[in-house]
Every structure is written in C-alpha cells, then in structure tokens.
C-alpha cells in the first residue's frame, strides 16, 4: 500500500486555540482587577459584577432565540462583555441600571449588527456610553473605597474630576495610592497593579500584542510630558489602563495589521488627551475608543501590506 499524500491549502498547522480559549484568557486576565474591585468596594462591586455576569449571557441567549441564530453562549464572549462593562461602572450604580447597560451592550452593541465579529463598536463601551447618556447622575456618583474601617459609602470625586473641576478641598491621591488602587473611580479603574497583571498575562499568552497598548499609553505619556503635566497621574487615573489593554485591543473592532494597530493606538491616545484636557468630560477613554473604532475599516484599508512583487499597495488587480 502506498503512502497517502494529502493535498490541501494552507494553513497546514493548526492550534487548539479557538474563540472560547481566547475569551477564557481574557476572563482570567480580568480576575485580578475584579478581585481588586471587590476588595475596595466590597458588596457594591460584587453586586454589580454578578448582575452583569448573569444578564450578559441571558441577553445573548434571548436575542439569539428571537433572531433564530445559532446559540453562541458557550464561546464566552458575552461573559467577557458583561465583565468588561461591570468594570467600567461606578460602584454605587443601582443593579437595574447595570442590567439595562448589559442588555444594551449585547443587543444593541452586538446582536443588531449580526453577532460576534460583526460589531463595529466595542459592545461593552456602547453599553457604558448609553448608560452615561441615560442616567448621568447615577453614572457619575463615586464613593471612596471602603477598605478603611468606615464601612458606609462616602461620596467623593474621582482624581480626574478633582483636576478638571479644580476642586481644592479634595485631596489628590499620591502616585502609590493610584497605582495600588486606593481611590475613587469605576470598579475596574482603581487598581493599576491588578490591571497590569492582567495585561501582562494577555501579552504573555499572546492574546494581544504590544502595539495598541504601548502606542496608546505612549501618546498619553508623551503628550502630557510635552504639555508639562503630571505624566504618571495621567497614566494611572481614569480608565486608561483598562481601556488600553482590554478595550482597545478587542479583535473585532481594532485593525488587523501591526502598522494599523499602532495608528489606532496613537489616535486613541490623542482623542483621550483631547477630551481630558479640552473636552467637557473629565475622562475620555470610553468615547475615544468608540470614535476610533469607527476608523478601523479605513485604517485597515490604508495599511494593507504590500504583496511581494506587487507595484502598489492597493488596486493590485489592475
């Protein structure tokens, strides 16, 4: 019997990696930040995260039932969206608002466009943007972390709010406090350390590359250095680390090419600094990523790699 020769087109080598594995890695990477959130905000954080984790797959399942689509809960993408959204919410947010946010994120942000892989915008950020527009008061009520012996919630301003509104009576946290997470803010934007652990895990697992986070953070650092404002403060406050490592690197809504990813990161950083310094909001990570998401198809088109031997980048059919 002669040897079997199997002819097939590439790819010839396949890994076991699939969508659930990628999503599982993202969930693992978000665990430190979630634990930090629960540590700093206790019951408030737990409540919000649980609501989001329950309602995200539920919304996905119901919308897919109604639209008669294939059930995709087991690819875990809904869980990731729910967890990411939970980490962008303020701790004292009423649970029903969080639930609406998750439903909006899954249905309006993803299902309406055709499901995972078709959404032009990051679903979690769509949910957050809608919530900010709907309930601006609830979405911008912040409390101090409850790690101290005082267990009741004390309303306060976020570090970026203090700078933007020039609130003199509030004390700005030190850089170390910002890094470890002892400050007011959304659930996931408190502890830079926990977020960095997750980000490094994703980089180590090669689920994301350095291009988007580094160019994003780099532009923020460089522009604040050039404008002579506190570089570390700009890097550590707000949702910047969360956005740069977990939101902007979303496969579906970021460019495919390395060059395109760097452009994407640069634009995100510029938009963020513009909104922070010149815009009406204290923080602009959410909107800047959403705005630059719109440019992703264009960036992809402009950075198509040149084929070997081809004369021009585009119109190679001619």
User: Cβ closer to other proteins: 134 or 274?
Assistant: 134
User: Cβ closer to other proteins: 138 or 230?
Assistant: 138
In the complex, the smallest distance separating the C-beta of residue 112 from other proteins, rounded to whole angstroms, is 7
User: Cβ closer to other proteins: 229 or 291?
Assistant: 291
User: Cβ closer to other proteins: 7 or 133?
Assistant: 133
| Cα–Cα distance measured from residue 50 to residue 178, given in angstroms and rounded to the nearest whole number | 25
Binding pattern to other proteins, positions 174-203, x when CB under 8 A?
Answer: ------------------------------
| Cα–Cα distance measured from residue 314 to residue 318, given in angstroms and rounded to the nearest whole number | 9
* Helix/strand/coil for 142: strand
Q: Tokens 């585009």 appear where?
A: 314
User: Cβ closer to other proteins: 66 or 167?
Assistant: 66
In the complex, the smallest distance separating the C-beta of residue 70 from other proteins, rounded to whole angstroms, is 18
In the complex, the smallest distance separating the C-beta of residue 132 from other proteins, rounded to whole angstroms, is 9
User: Cβ closer to other proteins: 112 or 204?
Assistant: 112
| Cα–Cα distance measured from residue 210 to residue 109, given in angstroms and rounded to the nearest whole number | 26
In the complex, the smallest distance separating the C-beta of residue 53 from other proteins, rounded to whole angstroms, is 23
List the interface residues with other proteins, window 276-315 (CB under 8 A): none
| Cα–Cα distance measured from residue 33 to residue 27, given in angstroms and rounded to the nearest whole number | 10
List the interface residues with other proteins, window 77-136 (CB under 8 A): 100, 108, 112, 130, 133-136
Q: From 34, 22, 50, select the one nearest 195 (Cα to Cα).
A: 34
- With CB under 8 A as the rule, give the number of residues binding other proteins: 9
In the complex, the smallest distance separating the C-beta of residue 268 from other proteins, rounded to whole angstroms, is 21
User: Cβ closer to other proteins: 108 or 277?
Assistant: 108
Prior bond to 81 cis, omega within 30?
A: no
| Cα–Cα distance measured from residue 148 to residue 203, given in angstroms and rounded to the nearest whole number | 34
| Cα–Cα distance measured from residue 246 to residue 249, given in angstroms and rounded to the nearest whole number | 6
| Cα–Cα distance measured from residue 87 to residue 285, given in angstroms and rounded to the nearest whole number | 13
C-alpha distances in Å from residue 305, one per residue of 88, 263, 296, 311, 314:
35, 14, 15, 12, 9
List the interface residues with other proteins, window 136-175 (CB under 8 A): 136, 138
| Cα–Cα distance measured from residue 165 to residue 184, given in angstroms and rounded to the nearest whole number | 15
In the complex, the smallest distance separating the C-beta of residue 294 from other proteins, rounded to whole angstroms, is 14
Helices (H) and strands (E) in the chain, counts: 13, 2
User: Cβ closer to other proteins: 112 or 251?
Assistant: 112
In the complex, the smallest distance separating the C-beta of residue 130 from other proteins, rounded to whole angstroms, is 6
In the complex, the smallest distance separating the C-beta of residue 110 from other proteins, rounded to whole angstroms, is 14
Instruction: For residue 155, list its beta bridge partners.
Output: 143
- Give first-to-last CA distance, the chain, whole Å: 48
Interacting residues with other proteins (CB under 8 A): 100, 108, 112, 130, 133-136, 138
């Amino acid at each position: 019997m002669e040897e079997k020769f199997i002819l097939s087109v590439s790819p010839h080598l396949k890994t076991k990696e699939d969508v659930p594995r990628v999503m599982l890695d993202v969930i693992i990477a978000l665990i430190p930040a979630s634990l930090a959130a629960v540590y700093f905000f206790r019951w408030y954080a737990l409540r919000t995260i649980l609501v989001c984790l329950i309602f995200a797959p539920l919304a996905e399942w119901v919308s897919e039932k109604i639209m008669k689509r294939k059930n995709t809960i087991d690819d875990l993408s809904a869980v990731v969206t729910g967890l990411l959204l939970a980490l962008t919410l303020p701790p004292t947010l009423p649970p029903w608002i969080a639930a609406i946010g998750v439903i909006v994120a899954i249905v309006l942000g993803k299902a309406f466009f055709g499901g995972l892989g078709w959404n032009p915008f990051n679903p979690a950020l769509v949910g957050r943007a809608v919530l900010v527009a709907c309930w601006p008061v609830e979405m911008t009520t912040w409390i101090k972390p409850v790690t101290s012996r005082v267990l009741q919630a004390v309303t306060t301003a976020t570090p970026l709010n203090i700078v933007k509104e020039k609130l003199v009576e509030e004390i700005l946290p030190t850089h170390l406090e910002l890094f470890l997470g002892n400050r007011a803010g959304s659930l996931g934007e408190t502890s830079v350390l926990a977020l960095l652990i997750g980000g490094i895990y994703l980089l180590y697992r090669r689920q994301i590359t350095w291009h988007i986070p580094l160019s994003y953070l780099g532009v923020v650092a460089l522009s604040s250095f050039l404008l002579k404002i506190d570089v570390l403060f700009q890097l550590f406050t707000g949702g910047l680390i969360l956005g740069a490592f977990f939101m902007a690197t979303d496969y579906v809504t970021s460019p495919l090419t390395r060059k395109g990813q760097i452009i994407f990161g640069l634009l995100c950083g510029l938009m963020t600094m513009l909104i922070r310094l010149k815009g009406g909001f204290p923080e602009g990570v959410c909107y800047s990523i959403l705005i630059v998401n719109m440019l992703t198809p264009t960036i992809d088109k402009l950075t198509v790699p040149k084929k070997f031997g081809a004369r021009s980048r585009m119109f190679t059919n001619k």
